[in-house]
Amino acid sequence: MAEQRYGSSKTGKQVLHKNVSQFEIVILNNHNKTYYPGQYLEGHVIVKVEQQFITRGILLQFCGRAEIFWSEKQRGAEDKCIGIMDYNAKEEFFNIRHFVFEPGLIPADVHKFPFKFHLTPPLPDNYRDNICEIEYFLETRLKIDTDINNDLVHRQDILIVDPIDLNKLIVPDVTLPVHSQKMMKLGILCCKSEPVIAFLRLIRSGYSPGEVIHVQADVENNSGSSVRNVTFTLYEERAYITEHKTYTHRDVVVQVNKGSVRSKATEEWSDIPLSIPKHQVFNVSPCTIFDIRHTLEMEMKAGLFNKRLVIPLRIVIGSISLDSVSKETLPMKRLHLKPTEDQLKERRDAVRAARQSKTIDVTVVNARHIIVRRQRRKDRNMKIYPDDVIDTADYRGHN
C-alpha cells in the first residue's frame, strides 16, 4: 500500500508542503509489488518543487523486519489476576538508510533520485496475525525542519515470496519413509499390565496442499483394558519466541477417528487417507522469533484414568510438490509374515503341555504370543525400512 503523509506518520493525510506539489516513491520493476529473494528492487524518489527552499535532506529507508507481541494475565492465590505480563521480540533482516539529497537548498524543479536494492536471501515471506507481523517497506522522508512531525513522508509496502520447493530440500529428505513407535503400560507399580504398543508410518514426509497423506498404523493392545478414541490429526503449529517465553498455538488441519481396539487384540490400518486442504503456505524459516510447523499425531486413551499415548511425526508442507512422486501414489503394502516352523512348533508344544496337565497357563501362552508378534513386527519393519533409512528423530536438531 502506498502512503503519503504530511506531519505524523500515523495520520494518513494527503497534505504537502506549500513549496512541494509532488513527493512519492516510484518502483520501476513493479511485479505487483511482489518479489523473490535474490531479485533487485529499482525505482526513484520524485520530488516536484514549486519554489526553492532550504531542507534538512531527503532520507530513504528500506527495511525488512519481524515483530511479535502478546500479553498474559498473571494469576495469584485463588486464581486471582495480580497483573499483566507483556512479551515481545523484534528482528531486523535489513535496514538500509541513506540520504538521496543532502541538507541544503533544493531548487525549483522536478527531481528524480534513483535507488536500487538487492533482496539478499534468505528472507521470510510476509506474514501477519494477531501476534506476529513480518513486513517489508520503502519509506522516504523530506525533512522540513527539526520537528519530525512536519516531515513529508511517503511509504511503499512490498511483498516477499519464497515458495517452499520440496524437490530442493536436503535436510530433511522428504522423499524417504518416516516412522515412529511408542508404548505405554497401564496400572500402577506392581499392578502394571502388559504394554500397549502403537506404530505410525508414512511413505514420505513431504506434501503440498491438495495432496492426500496415506497413513499406515497399528495398535497392539496387550493390556486388560480397551484402547479408545484412536485419532489421527494433522496440526499446524505456530511458535512465537521471546527471550523469556515461547508461546505455541495449534490449529487442526484435518482429523480422522478410527474408534477403539479391544483388549488382547491388534488393529492394523494399511491406508488412512488424510486430505490436506488447499491453503497458502508461508515460508518463515529464516525468521528466528517465529516458526510454522506441521505435525501428524496418532493419539489414543486407555485405562481407568484415560491415560494418553501420543505418537508424533513431523512432516513438511511445501508450496511446490515433489516431481518424482505422483499425487495418486499408493501406500506401501503391509508385509504379513507367517510364523516360522520353529515358532509354530514351540507354540504347539506349550499348548500340548498345558492340556496334558489340564491347567492352561494363560500367562505363558500370552507371553509366547507376544514374543512371536514382536518378532513379526521387527522382521516386517526391517524389510519396510532398511538400515539406510533415516528416522525423523535424527532431524530434531535441524527443525
How many Cβ atoms from other residues are within 10 Å of residue 171's Cβ?
11
Arithmetic mean of pLDDT over the chain = 83
Task: Give the domain 166-332 fold.
Answer: Immunoglobulin-like (2.60.40)
The per-residue pLDDT for 316 is: 96
% of the chain exceeding 70 in pLDDT: 78
**Residue 221 confidence (pLDDT) above 50:** yes
Answer for the pair 145, 7: CB distance below 8 angstroms, yes or no. no
Q: Which of 157, 127, 133 is nearest to 1 (CA)?
A: 157
**Residue 131 confidence (pLDDT) above 80:** yes
The pLDDT of 170-177, averaged and rounded, is: 88
* pLDDT band, very low/low/confident/very high, at 129 (cuts 50, 70, 90): very high
Answer for the pair 141, 17: CB distance below 8 angstroms, yes or no. no
**Residue 6 confidence (pLDDT) above 50:** no
The pLDDT of 143-165, averaged and rounded, is: 93
* pLDDT band, very low/low/confident/very high, at 47 (cuts 50, 70, 90): very high
pTM for the model: 0.77
- The C-alpha cell 501420543 sits at 310
Better pLDDT: 351 or 29: 29
Distance CA 170, CA 40 (A): 27
**Residue 255 confidence (pLDDT) above 60:** yes
pLDDT in tens, 293-326: 999 999 999 987 888 999 999 999 999 999 876 4
The segment(s) of the chain belonging to CATH 2.60.40.640 are 2-160, 166-332
pLDDT in tens, 91-111: 999 999 999 999 999 999 999
Looking at domain 2-160, its CATH class is mainly beta
**Residue 187 confidence (pLDDT) above 60:** yes
